[in-house]
Structures are given as structure tokens and as C-alpha cells.
Amino acid sequence: MPRYDQHFLVSAEAADRIVRAACVSPGESVLEIGPGRGALTRCLLEAGARLSVVEIDPRLAGELAKRWAERKELRVVQGDFLRMDLSALGEPRKVVGNLPYSVATPILQRLLDWPAWKAAVLMFQKEVARRILAGPGEDGYSLLSLSVLVKAQAELVCGVPRSAFRPMPKVDSAVVRLDRLRRPRLPEDVPERAFFAAARAAFAHRRKLAAKSIALATGAERGRIEAAFVQAGIPACARAEDIPPEWFIELARRLK
């Protein structure tokens, strides 16, 4: 198994679809996360992107820098996207990436908290993509789904078979486009911290009723939590996967 959970994209068709979905214009600032051996990098350069790539593997970063040494519009940054100072990357208008399965979710969560980008086209394990796109009551609806719903507009671009990678993974992948909202879908009187604290506690024990899960996660009296549910107009029998963002907003107002 390669280091860093690497499955390199080898399908030119898949790479082309990803770059086309990003609608890159000549001279546009783009960040690529996890370029690997450069399948997407090549397509982005051909599209005329002013490109920064972040690669955690020093060997691969060196190979990319050497391969395109004459391309002044390409900057190769060797480092871990999850640990680096993102302000050093400037303000890319768009983000593109074939994300490593093992860290795709934390990378997405960090992107959602970073206001620099406008649109992102990212490849995920198919199951993770399903969770990103799920709505309340749908299979896969989770804290990740809620984070995306609050901060971005998401749509499925395409599926990508496991045969598009080397070495071949055991699962299929999917590409998702995210368009960042100018501001989160939260009213001014409900801070993000309060909203996500309530949601995180509700999803902490998925098999339990949301009120009981929040009480267990926070140590609050269950009677107080159940009263907040009543005030928010949320059924006492609701589970976290059935609660839409607007209900979490009402709940946060009463629990913050």
C-alpha cells in the first residue's frame, strides 16, 4: 500500500470531467489538494489555471516541481493541508482535489471553515459523497451533511469507478461540486458555535432519541432538554437524522 493512503487517478476522462465541472477560466486562481502524480494538475494547467498544489508526500512534491519547472503559473507546496497555515495559500477562487479517503472528511470540514474559496470540485469515496449530499430523513444524513447544508450548495458531478485508480481501491468514488454560500444559513442571533454544539450533541448517540443524546453528551438534565424540544416545536421522538437545519436553529436558540 502506498504511503498516505494514496490511490492515484489514472483516468484522463475522469480528470477532464472534474476540471470541466470546476469551470476554470484562464488566469483563474485554483488550489489543488493532493495532486499525487499530476493527472488533475496537467488538466488544470491546460485550462490556464494559476495553480497552487499542496502535496504531503515530499517525493511526489519534488517530482511535480521538477516535471513542470518551467511553468511559472504553478506553485508546489509540500505540506499537510490539515496542519498548514491556510493564509499562506492566498485566496484561491476554486479548489480541486482527489482527496485521500482516510482524511477526506476532515479536509472538507476545514475547507468549510475557510472563507477564501468560492467553489470546490472534490473526489470522495462514494459513501462519503452520499453523506455529503444527504438531506434530513435520508440515509447517510449526518453532522457532515448538516455542515455542508449550512455553508454550501452541493451537487453530484459524477461517479468514478475503482478502475480509474492505481493501485485500485476496494470502493468506488464520486465527484461533488460545492459552491460556498456568502454566509452560513444561520440567523444572526444563532452563532455557529451554538448551532453546531447542539447538532454535534444530537448526533453523538445516533441510535438514541436526539433529546437523550444531547443530555448524555452535555451532562444537562434531560427534562431541560426535552422542554427545549417542546419550545422549538421538535417532536420528542425525533432522532438526529430526522432533524432539518431549521429545527436545529430553533433548538440552539433555546440551549445556547
User: How many whole angstroms separate alpha carbon 88 and alpha carbon 243?
Assistant: 38
Q: Please check whether residues 149 and 240 belong to one and the same domain.
A: no
Residue 21 burial (CB < 10 Å; 0-12/13-18/19+)? middle
- Determine phi and psi for 175, rounding to 5 degrees: -105, 135
Each as own residue / partner, the long-range contacts of residues 41-46 (CB below 8 Å, 24 or more positions apart, any chain) are: 41/68, 41/74, 42/15, 43/15, 43/16, 43/18, 43/19, 44/19, 44/96, 45/71, 45/73, 45/74
pLDDT tens-digit readout, 69-87: 999 999 999 999 999 999 9
Residue 67's Cβ-side half-sphere holds a number of Cα atoms within 13 Å equal to 15
Q: 187 lies in a domain?
A: no
Query: Which residue's entry shows cell 450533541?
Result: 201
Global pTM?
Answer: 0.94
Q: Please check whether residues 43 and 150 belong to one and the same domain.
A: yes
Point out the domain boundary residue: 147, 180, 213.
180
Point out the domain boundary residue: 121, 145, 180.
180
Q: Please check whether residues 229 and 202 belong to one and the same domain.
A: yes
The residue ranges of DSSP E strands in 56-151, in sequence order, are 74-78, 94-98, 119-125
Domains identified in the chain, total number: 2
Which CATH number characterizes residue 7's domain?
A: 3.40.50.150
Q: 142 lies in a domain?
A: yes
Which CATH number characterizes residue 225's domain?
A: 1.10.8.100
User: How many whole angstroms separate alpha carbon 255 and alpha carbon 215?
Assistant: 11
For the cut 80, the answer to whether the pLDDT of residue 256 exceeds it is no
Q: 186 lies in a domain?
A: no
Q: Please check whether residues 142 and 231 belong to one and the same domain.
A: no
**Domain encompassing residue 68:** 3-180
Beta bridge partners of 178: 120, 154
pLDDT number for residue 1: 38
* Angle (CA) 139 142 147, round 5°: 130
Q: Please check whether residues 66 and 134 belong to one and the same domain.
A: yes
pLDDT tens-digit readout, 195-217: 999 999 999 998 999 999 999 99
What is the pLDDT confidence band of residue 6, given thresholds at 50, 70 and 90? Answer: confident
For the cut 60, the answer to whether the pLDDT of residue 2 exceeds it is no
Q: Please check whether residues 147 and 29 belong to one and the same domain.
A: yes
Q: Please check whether residues 47 and 104 belong to one and the same domain.
A: yes
Q: Please check whether residues 168 and 240 belong to one and the same domain.
A: no
Average pLDDT of every residue of the chain: 96
For the cut 80, the answer to whether the pLDDT of residue 4 exceeds it is no
